[in-house]
Amino acid sequence: DVKVTQSSRYLVKRTGEKVFLECVQDMDHENMFWYRQDPGLGLRLIYFSYDVKMKEKGDIPEGYSVSREKKERFSLILESASTNQTSMYLCASIRQGNDEQYFGPGTRLTVT
């Protein structure tokens, strides 16, 4: 079974803090994604990566950055957390040519 893990299930941070969300997949997938999930808005793509050190902006990249130094790990960085970044963050991965995305359990981030 594909396994996508995220470093924390729940996280509480203060406004202005730098926040790192980590995602690891164990199936050698080329593509990895970060989404945020908000009630009534569905899943919105923040960033994705199709290879090590490669990244592309999604639909809502403002306020976020990403890092992919190793194939299995994709990090989402909030440089200076703000209250409007309180959300559920989901990581996903997919093998090139295989169209089913596998999701992690999510990190519920609260910024106070």
Partner 1 sequence: AQSVSQHNHHVILSEAASLELGCNYSYGGTVNLFWYVQYPGQHLQLLLKYFSGDPLVKGIKGFEAEFIKSKFSFNLRKPSVQWSDTAEYFCAVKSYGNNRLAFGKGNQVVVIP
Binding site for partner 1 (CB under 8 A): 31, 33, 35, 40-45, 48, 50, 58-59, 90, 92, 94, 96, 99-101, 103-106
Q: Which residue number, 82 or 110, has a Cβ lying nearer to partner 1?
A: 110
**Cβ at position 90, least distance to partner 1 in Å:** 7
Q: Which residue number, 8 or 17, has a Cβ lying nearer to partner 1?
A: 8
**Cβ at position 59, least distance to partner 1 in Å:** 8
Q: Which residue number, 17 or 61, has a Cβ lying nearer to partner 1?
A: 61
Contact indicator for 25, 103 with CB cutoff of 8 Å:
no
Q: Which residue number, 58 or 63, has a Cβ lying nearer to partner 1?
A: 58
**Cβ at position 18, least distance to partner 1 in Å:** 27
**Cβ at position 1, least distance to partner 1 in Å:** 11
Measured distance CA(45)–CA(28) in Å, rounded:
21
